[in-house]
Structure 1
Amino acid sequence: MSVLLLVVLVGTATAAVSGDRTLRRRFRRPRSLQVATVAAALVLVPANAWPAGPGGAAVTLVATVVALSGVAGLGYALRIPAVPARLPRQVLAIGAHPDDLELACGGTLVRLVDSGHEVHVLVMTRGERGGDAATRAGEAAAGARFVGVTSVEVLDHPDTLLATAENAMAEAIDRAIRRHRPDIVFTHSANDHHQDHRAVHAATLRAARCHPAVLCYESPSATSSFRPTVFVDIGEQLDAKIGSVAVHRDQRAKPYVDGRRLRALAAFRGGQGRVDHAEGFEAVRVPAPLFEDGDR
């Protein structure tokens, strides 16, 4: 029995170290869970291998069971619960570049997915001016898988020159709206220094001119004129958001992908929204509540 518990403990510690992506997606404060699991393994693996003194094996067995129970209890307490929505909605999230959505509204998208809503992602460029196009397109798909979205489409409009493709983008967005029939559309804000972000905002408003629910998210390049009036509590999803941004390794040298900055902005918007951590949105048209009673 002691050998079996030893194997379980070593396997759990190995998974905690190597499965960082899964931990970030499914647990709040994943580092705490990693540290607790590895610490338990470092103490109990030698004890199981060489139990000391009379009755040492029995004491080690009890200690191992307690340690495993403690790690399991910590994991349960830190889990990000997924509670299916009573009325699942369709969501369309539109970004200019492969990492825009994770940076700006990744926590909200994680929360929507975990609440049972279907999220569809439309990315306008492969980000070739800011990195390797093939790599970034692949990271867009990987980031979408991390978040758990239902579908992701990466288009090949010219990076940094989206203003020249506004008609084509509006047509692509219109097709996506007709295909997915979203209840909510997320897009860039007009209050943004990046010309591509403003172009996507304009194209979205054209394509969604008859849509009743359009929210604009905050990019790292947002101007001081960005004034959110809708706040989504992402306290339980913040680590997952940071993990989704980390998927975009091609961009890891950029200062705005740093987890400390993401956490600081979420704390600032959380203060405005009267929660610990939040993402803020400007409302073009305010939708029905994003999360009904019972949604997480």
Structure 2
Amino acid sequence: MKSLFLFLIAILIYPVQAQDHQESDSVRNMLIITCHPDDWELSMAGTAYLLKDKYNIHVIIASDGERGNSKEPDPEVAALRVGHAMKSAEKINAQNHFFRMMDGEIYADEDAVQRTVKLMEDLDPALIFLHWPIDKPDHAAASAMAMMALSKTGMMYNREIYFFEVGLLNHFTPEVFVDVTPVWEIKKEVVQIHERFNDDRYERMAERSSLYHGRTNRCKYAEGFIPLFPFSNVRYKNRIGCSLLDL
């Protein structure tokens, strides 16, 4: 009788254990919160490519970039840039989430924050990237939108979160570097998707930044990031590692 009892207990417990193991082994979500088509590509395309097999990548794009070529909104430019964003997303197996906010008029208002909160709650991302806030107004607003959503969801305190820069920005001193030399040609391909001025200005912009960070990191090309909080063995009773160091 005792053996039968133990056998029945084992049958009841095993499926629960198997389910827990399956959930822990499942691929987690990663979220990049960006302002325009081309922002993450210029700043962290190499890192995103290195992460694509480790995470399901999602990208919030606040604006379609209708003012990318002129001061006045241009629907044709917006359509072109959305097409570019779709192509570059394919390179990292990412899913885009377009917020359709007007280029040049991005605000971290209640609607934008709540849409970000909803998506965060749906995705439950383990790894999050957002704009460095000391930047032009649109980028700063997208960063504020992300920070408000992180605060409202509570994810600010128990997720791995990094700031990225687009170009070389003021007061942006990376604390984590990713050597992207082995995937530099892939990053170039991703950046070149967004060239729309019949020149190589985006490629040169990405190369200047990556070479600069590469010199600091003692490699040829690197991308730099700043974690939201300093790394610690335990923070708010949570253990949060640095997955970028495993790339």
TM-score, structure 1 length as denominator? 0.63
Shift of 1:181: 0.9
- CA distance in 2: counterparts of 1:202 and 1:262, whole angstroms: 24
- CA distance in 2: counterparts of 1:142 and 1:251, whole angstroms: 18
- CA distance in 2: counterparts of 1:118 and 1:245, whole angstroms: 21
- CA distance in 1: counterparts of 2:209 and 2:26, whole angstroms: 31
- CA distance in 2: counterparts of 1:126 and 1:237, whole angstroms: 27
- CA distance in 2: counterparts of 1:251 and 1:148, whole angstroms: 26
CA 1:252 to 1:162, structure 2 compared with 1: closer, same or farther past 3 Å? farther
Is the 1:142–1:247 Cα contact (8 Å) retained in structure 2? yes
Is the 2:178–2:245 Cα contact (8 Å) retained in structure 1? no
For structure 1, the residue ranges without an aligned partner over 5 or more in a row are: 1-85
- SS in structure 2 at match of 1:162: coil
Amino acid at match of 1:125: S
> Out of 28, 32, 45, which is 1:93 matched to?
32
CA 1:253 to 1:128, structure 2 compared with 1: closer, same or farther past 3 Å? farther
> Out of 108, 116, 136, which is 2:81 matched to?
136
- CA distance in 2: counterparts of 1:169 and 1:103, whole angstroms: 24
Which residue of structure 1 aligns with residue 184 of structure 2?
Answer: 238
**Does residue 277 of structure 1 match 2:215?**
no
CA 1:156 to 1:252, structure 2 compared with 1: closer, same or farther past 3 Å? farther
Which residue of structure 1 aligns with residue 47 of structure 2?
Answer: 108
> Out of 139, 142, 145, which is 1:200 matched to?
142
Amino acid at match of 2:142: V
Which residue of structure 2 aligns with residue 267 of structure 1?
Answer: 211
Superposition pairs for residues 1-296 of structure 1, below 5 Å?
88-113=27-52, 115-131=53-69, 132-149=77-94, 151-163=95-107, 165-192=108-135, 194-209=136-151, 210-211=154-155, 212-220=159-167, 222-250=168-196, 252-253=198-199, 255=201, 257-258=202-203, 260-285=204-229, 286=231, 287-291=240-244, 296=247
- SS in structure 2 at match of 1:135: helix
Is the 1:94–1:188 Cα contact (8 Å) retained in structure 2? yes
Supply the RMSD in Å over aligned alpha carbons.
Answer: 2.1
- CA distance in 1: counterparts of 2:175 and 2:34, whole angstroms: 20
Q: What's the % identity of the aligned pairs?
A: 26
CA 1:239 to 1:152, structure 2 compared with 1: closer, same or farther past 3 Å? same
Is the 2:160–2:242 Cα contact (8 Å) retained in structure 1? no
Shift of 1:252: 4.9
Shift of 1:284: 1.1
CA 1:170 to 1:271, structure 2 compared with 1: closer, same or farther past 3 Å? same
Is the 2:47–2:180 Cα contact (8 Å) retained in structure 1? yes
CA 1:276 to 1:249, structure 2 compared with 1: closer, same or farther past 3 Å? closer
- CA distance in 1: counterparts of 2:37 and 2:59, whole angstroms: 10
Q: Which structure is higher in strand share?
A: 2
Q: Which runs of 4+ in 1 moved over 6 A?
A: none
- CA distance in 1: counterparts of 2:150 and 2:200, whole angstroms: 32
TM-score, structure 2 length as denominator? 0.75
For structure 2, the residue ranges without an aligned partner over 5 or more in a row are: 1-24, 70-76, 232-239
